[in-house]
Chain A
Amino acid sequence: MGQACLAHLDVLYRVARRLTRHPGEAEDLVQETFARALRAAGGFEEGSQLKPWLLRILRNLHLDRWRRERRHRIEPDAALEEAPEPDAWLRGDLELEAMRGLVASEVEAALGKLSEEARTAILLDVEGLTETEMAEVMECAVGTVKSRLSRARAALRSALAEYAR
């Protein structure tokens, strides 16, 4: 089990890195995820997918930590969760070109402005999880994943537009 988990280490670290926004905290979170997964190995069903299972543990641990520390944390602006007007992201080829010129640090910064839920949806999608796998990680219905991802991408486009100007 432990070695099978190691095969997903890079994915776990990348997701942890963007959820915590801190390399050291990400490493702690991944280590705790491994420890929790090994303790809970008996609950893992043979034939089911390991990656979503691990990511669900990681996310729940992150949420637990965040809830414990939330008095000291500032969550992102809730307004960014509002999807922009339907055509706000279609302002022409100029915007498309500007978006193509964005650098990694700007994408990271825009992603950091999203809520945990929106960030998680974006991260899991980029990591190649299917909607079913994302639903397992986020513990919601597949239909909910679809709408969350759609809203999250709209919010991210909106945040990126600030840097693309």
Chain B
Amino acid sequence: MDCEEVKLLLLDTRRKGLEPPLGESVSAHLAACPSCQRAEAVERTLDDLLQATLLREAAPSSLRQELERSLAAEGEAEAVPSRPLRTLRRWASSRSGLAATGLAACLAVSLFVLFERGGPGGVTLATLTGEAVNDHLRVLVSEHPLEIESGINHQVKPWFEGRLDFAPVVPVPEVPDLHLSGGAIGYFLDRKAAVVEYHLGRHAVTLLAFRGDGLPDLPENEPALSSARGFAVARWRAGGVGYALVSDIASQDLRKLADLFAAESAH
């Protein structure tokens, strides 16, 4: 394998890795070739520069509020994720009166929807899936979504003690590029939930753990898959605790991941 061939593969190597025979050849060449090492260093520097420059900006809050108002006006509001009250208070205190009004409207609609749904007795698979996706979205759109930020499950799991009336498992299976980011307390339907955030490469993955009593379609230790609005949801029950794993990764990838999570939650 010569330098030109290796340089063509540098991007693939960084983005998705290469299969063993090819990957090993590239690694061996890189280890022995200063020119290709420099090319790799330049490419990595370019990646770092672009990420530091282009990913630091978020959409203006005025634009977000405008879109939320428009969606509410068009009858889309029933899907507005109902933020935890503490987050709402933080938002309300840090935003203009107009924004607070918009959020209050969102909250009112969410409460209306919850009331209309009649509590967990009326929960269907579609409701359960939709709620899991909404919870995932809440984490994604929140400005400070995590109450404990740590990549170590022995720090994240104990943090939930005293905050929940059940003990969720915080699995961290050995999967390349899977990293635990932290956790927070949220709500799943009518009950408190542990919200655990991971990243798989650049994809966000949310694990929700909640009391499973009264909820349908939670197979014991065997994750079942559903989807809503482009997100895949795996759900299962272990030791009386319900779990839902949500992400925008491909369904088959989420299933593999969920199987590993379920194996850990069963212990």
The docked-state distance in angstroms from the alpha carbon of A47 to that of B250 is 8
Kindly provide the distance from the CB of A30 to the nearest chain B CB, expressed in whole angstroms: 7
Residue count of chain A within 8 Å CB distance of chain B: 54
The docked-state distance in angstroms from the alpha carbon of A12 to that of B57 is 11
Identify B79's interface contact among A3, A31, A95, A100, CB under 8 A: A3
Residue of B nearest to A149 (CB): B11
| Docked-complex contact B53 and A99, CB < 8 angstroms | no
Q: Does B201 contact A (CB under 8 A)?
A: yes
Residue of B nearest to A23 (CB): B60
Assign chain B's interface to a size class.
Answer: 35 or more
Chain A interface main SS type: helix
Residues of chain A with a CB closer than 8 A to B231's CB: 4, 50
| Docked-complex contact A31 and B67, CB < 8 angstroms | yes
Residue of B nearest to A103 (CB): B53
Kindly provide the distance from the CB of B59 to the nearest chain A CB, expressed in whole angstroms: 4
A3-B81, A89-B42, A128-B201 known; A30-B59 Cβ under 8 A: yes
| Docked-complex contact B202 and A6, CB < 8 angstroms | no
Kindly provide the distance from the CB of A105 to the nearest chain B CB, expressed in whole angstroms: 9
A2-B79, A90-B38, A128-B201 known; A30-B63 Cβ under 8 A: yes
| Docked-complex contact B70 and A34, CB < 8 angstroms | yes
Chain B interface main SS type: helix
Query: Digit string of B62-78 for contact with A (CB within 8 Å is 1, else 0)?
Result: 01101110110010100
The docked-state distance in angstroms from the alpha carbon of A104 to that of B52 is 8
Identify B76's interface contact among A2, A12, A89, A93, CB under 8 A: A2
Residues of chain B with a CB closer than 8 A to A27's CB: 60, 63
Q: Does A153 contact B (CB under 8 A)?
A: yes
A30-B63, A150-B11 known; A3-B46 Cβ under 8 A: no
Residues of chain A with a CB closer than 8 A to B203's CB: 128
Kindly provide the distance from the CB of B80 to the nearest chain A CB, expressed in whole angstroms: 6
Query: Digit string of A104-141 for contact with B (CB within 8 Å is 1, else 0)?
Result: 10011001000000000011011110100000000000
| Docked-complex contact A50 and B59, CB < 8 angstroms | no
| Docked-complex contact B42 and A14, CB < 8 angstroms | no
Q: Does B45 contact A (CB under 8 A)?
A: yes
| B-to-A contact residues, CB < 8 Å | 4, 7-8, 11, 15-16, 35, 38-39, 41-43, 45-46, 49-60, 63-64, 66-68, 70-71, 74, 76, 79-81, 133-134, 136-137, 140-141, 201-203, 227, 229-232, 248, 251
List 10 A–B pairs whose Cβ atoms lie within 8 Å, in order of A's numbering: A2-B74, A3-B80, A7-B136, A7-B140, A12-B59, A14-B54, A90-B39, A107-B53, A150-B8, A160-B46
